[in-house]
Amino acid sequence: MIPDVVADLRATFDSGRTKPFTWREAQLEGLDRLLAENGAELEAALAADLGKSATEAYLTEIGFLRTELAHVRARFRRWLAPQRVPVPLSLRPARASIIREPLGVVLVIAPWNYPVQLTFGPLIGALAAGNTALLKPSELTPTVSATIARLVPRYLDGVAVVEGGPEETGEVLAQRFDHIVYTGGSRVARIVMRAAAEHLTPVTLELGGKSPAWVDGTTDLRTAARRLAWGKFLNAGQTCVAPDYVLAPPDVARRLEPLLAEAVADMYGPDPRNSPDYGRIISAHHHARVVELLEGSVAAGARVVTGGEHDGEAYLAPTVLADVGLDSPAMAEEIFGPVLPLVAVDGIAEAVAVIRAGEKPLALYAFTEDARTRRTLLRETSSGAVVFGAPAVHLAVPSLPFGGVGGSGMGSYHGEHSVRTLSHPKPVLRKPSSPDTLALIRPPFTGLKERLA
Ligand code: NAD
């Protein structure tokens, strides 16, 4: 029963057992062992649910988490150490410090696209900060979800897993938590936030959106095309930080067309269907949605540069679209699939206007050697992150906060930022009883205001 599972986690937290750093280190070590000893099984589960290659699974999920774990384990004691802060003269003698206390029971709701990384990633911060946690993996990756549910009790204390979809998640959300980390789309984010409001539970929302990529003629277009194709077609385009669409001056867009087609062929061969390194779309429903965006865009005047073939079920070839208008279906919502539209704009001013017309994206990418263009983008647009010269790689810098802004989410995590998000900075002030300097501010106030002014 879900209420009992949450009650058990709360009892564990209330017992105080999770507070010593030794407990936290033991859990982080346990999670690392879980990943090391069951890497092959998790990779097989990712292959079964998402057609993900073992190498990609290691790079973006299992290895990614182990790097994050090493980073956190080496530093979390220092991040969480009490911090002395100065006390103003008028209050001295006194000592002030900030101690970081755990919040309690953290709920992690994960999506299906990186189901291992996005379930265990927030857990690393939750454990390092001394919390217990309930994990709710996505029902759309049932093999991964079942594997996680089976492995967690064997390696971790203070962590439970609830499997299931909307119904079970609804039941979970009726319980009281001390923080919720939700990763997924904005529709469900609203459900999560509404449920959280009932208990005044703080939330971190890791959402998506249309992350643009600006490319201009000052950059090496072949390298830009290769990197864009890599970031877009990784996990068959089902990556929250994938470049959603490209904005470029018309001549640059034209020159990118053959370079992107070449980059796709270099990575996945003449028929990507046969490539062991190319993934599949998570469900027939999502497949139909992406194909509809593709076909609708073609009907609206877009041209297929490469790709477009699909099996009506799970496979959709890495697809590049040219001559995509701003009113095209491909520009109406986050694509979240292997379709890369090239949108020609007059210049950086129009690109900025396009970006600002939409929700604040999770990431903004730019391929330019022009410092003024970089400054313009930094100053005139808002996004979860900005990366010059490559998509998605900012996630691999554990010291950078990862999160969105506005429509792409709220709050951030990774490394120290996870520990900050999932702990409370508690101010502690100690004022000795002697000398009694506070006598000065007690009534009667005769002449006090004049003395202070
Ligand atoms: P999803 O369908 O897996 O849903 C996410 C979670 O919400 C799942 O655990 C699911 O069980 C639960 N859920 C679904 N319907 C629910 C309901 N009615 N009530 C309660 N819970 C419910 O994932 P998704 O929404 O399809 O994910 C895709 C989106 O996630 C994209 O927009 C993508 O950009 C975004 N995303 C963001 C990040 C990030 O780190 N910022 C990472 C991955 C994906």
Q: What is the pLDDT of residues 87-140, one digit of tens each?
A: 999 999 999 999 999 999 999 999 999 999 999 999 999 999 999 999 999 999
Residue identifier of the C-alpha nearest atom 6 of ligand 1 = 111
Distance 110 CA to ligand 1 centre (A): 7
What mean pLDDT, rounded, does the chain reach?
97
| pLDDT (tens place) for every residue of the chain, 453 residues total | 999 999 999 999 999 999 999 999 999 999 999 999 999 999 999 999 999 999 999 999 999 999 999 999 999 999 999 999 999 999 999 999 999 999 999 999 999 999 999 999 999 999 999 999 999 999 999 999 999 999 999 999 999 999 999 999 999 999 999 999 999 999 999 999 999 999 999 999 999 999 999 999 999 999 999 999 999 999 999 999 999 999 999 999 999 999 999 999 999 999 999 999 999 999 999 999 999 999 999 999 999 999 999 999 999 999 999 999 999 999 999 999 999 999 999 999 999 999 999 999 999 999 999 999 999 999 999 999 999 999 999 999 999 999 999 999 999 999 999 999 999 999 999 999 999 999 888 999 988 888 888
Distance 267 CA to ligand 1 centre (A): 28
Would you list the DSSP string of 51-66? ---HHHHIIIIIHHHH
- Within 10 A of 357 (CB to CB), how many other CB atoms are there? 8
Residue identifier of the C-alpha nearest atom 40 of ligand 1 = 206
Q: Please tell me the pTM assigned to this model.
A: 0.96
Q: Is 206 a catalytic residue?
A: yes
- State how far Cα 375 lies from the chain centre: 25
Distances (CA, A) of 206 to 160, 259, 385, 451: 21, 32, 13, 52
Task: For ligand 1, pick from 64, 108, 113 the residue to mutate: most ligand atoms within 8 Å of CB.
Answer: 113
Residue identifier of the C-alpha nearest atom 5 of ligand 1 = 111
DSSP letter assigned to residue 272? G
Q: Spell out which residues line ligand 1, taking CB within 6 angstroms.
A: 109-113, 118, 136, 138-140, 165-166, 169-170, 183-185, 188, 191, 206-208, 240, 334, 336, 362, 404, 409
- What pLDDT sits at residue 453? 82
Distance 69 CA to ligand 1 centre (A): 24
Residue identifier of the C-alpha nearest atom 18 of ligand 1 = 166
What type of residue sits at position 111?
P
Rounded-to-integer distance, Cα 420 and Cα 125, Å:
8
Residue identifier of the C-alpha nearest atom 20 of ligand 1 = 166
Q: Which of 157, 173, 107, 170 is nearest to 135 (CA)?
A: 107
Rounded-to-integer distance, Cα 394 and Cα 400, Å:
7
Distance 394 CA to ligand 1 centre (A): 21
Distance 188 CA to ligand 1 centre (A): 7
> For the purposes of burial, counting CB atoms within 10 Å of the CB of 191, is it exposed (0-12), middle (13-18) or buried (19 or more)?
middle
Per-residue b or e along 414-442, where b marks 16 or more CB atoms closer than 10 Å to that residue's CB = bbbbbbbbbbbeeeeeeeeeeeeeeeeee
Kindly give the number of the ligand 1 atom that is closest to the alpha carbon of 139: 11
Residue identifier of the C-alpha nearest atom 30 of ligand 1 = 184
Q: 390: which 2 tokens?
A: 């490559």
Distances (CA, A) of 255 to 106, 221, 370: 49, 8, 19
- Please report the ipTM that was assigned to this predicted complex: 0.94
DSSP E strand stretches across 53-199:
83-85, 95-102, 105-109, 132-136, 159-161, 179-183
Query: Phi and psi dihedrals of 296, rounded to 5?
Result: -65, -40
Rounded-to-integer distance, Cα 89 and Cα 260, Å:
64
Q: Which of 70, 40, 58 is nearest to 117 (CA)?
A: 58
What type of residue sits at position 292?
E
> For the purposes of burial, counting CB atoms within 10 Å of the CB of 327, is it exposed (0-12), middle (13-18) or buried (19 or more)?
exposed
233 by DSSP, 3-state: which? helix
Catalytic member of 56, 206, 257, 416: 206
Distance 315 CA to ligand 1 centre (A): 21
Residues 6+ apart with CB under 8 A from 45: 141, 143, 144, 146, 147
DSSP letter assigned to residue 423? E
- What pLDDT sits at residue 440? 84
DSSP letter assigned to residue 433? S
Kindly give the number of the ligand 1 atom that is closest to the alpha carbon of 165: 11
Kindly give the number of the ligand 1 atom that is closest to the alpha carbon of 362: 41
